[in-house]
Copies of this chain bind each other. A is one copy, B any other.
C-alpha cells in the first residue's frame, strides 16, 4: 500500500479516478503554496488539474479539503502503521514506532507535501480543516487502540481518550518543530524524533505538575 493507505491496483476506472484525485490534490497544494490559499480560485485549480470546474466537486467538497488532502492521507497512514505494529508492543511503544515508520515512508517518498504544508499551515481557512482531518482519524485510531489492550480497558474511556491525546501530542510536537524550522530546508528529522519521544514520555509518566508554592 502507498503512503496514503490506498491500493494501487484496480480496474482502469479506479486508476483513472485515483489519478484525477491526485492531480487535483497536487494542483491545489501547488497553487496554494505559490499564491496563498485565499488567492486561489477553484477555477484555476480545475484548469491546472485539467478538469472541468464541476468535476472538482465530484472529488472534494471545498478548496480547503483538496489542499489538506495530502495531510489527511498521512494521518490515515499513521493509523495503519500503528495497526501494523507487533501486538506485543505497548500502546505508546506502538505509537512511537508507528510514527517513525510513517516518517520513514515519507522521506523515501519523492512527492514532498510536508515542506509544502509548512509554508501554508496557519492560514486561517486551513486550520479548521486540518484539525477536522486529524479528528476524523480519532475513531479509527481509538478502535486500533482498543484491539491492542485487554478487554476491560477496551470498553472504557481509555481508547478514545488515548487516541485524542496521542494525536494532540503529535500535532503539538509537529507544530513546535515546524515553528522552529528556519524558512530554508526542513531541518533534521532527528530533532523531530527526539521531540516526539519527549512528548510520548510525558504522556507515559503522567501529566500532573505541582502548583507554584507561593
Give bound CA distance, A170 to B157, whole Å. 12
Collect the chain B residues with CB atoms within 8 Å of residue A127's CB: 132, 135
Query: Judging by beta carbons under 8 Å apart, are A157 and B195 in contact?
Result: yes
Residue A92, interface by CB 8 Å: yes
Say how many copies of this protein the assembly contains: 2
Kindly supply a per-residue 1/0 record for chain A positions 146-187, scoring 1 wherever the CB is within 8 Å of any chain B CB and 0 otherwise. 011110010001101110111111011101100000000000
Contact call A161/B169, Cβ cutoff below 8 A: yes
Asked if A35 CB lies within 8 Å of chain B CBs, one says no
Indicate if the CB atoms of B205 and A153 lie closer than 8 Å. no
A35 to B195 alpha-carbon distance, docked (Å): 47
Q: How far is the CA of A213 from the CA of B90 in the complex (A)?
A: 10
User: What 8 A-B pairs come out closest when comparing CB atoms?
Assistant: A128-B128, A164-B168, A131-B131, A128-B132, A165-B165, A206-B206, A92-B208, A204-B208
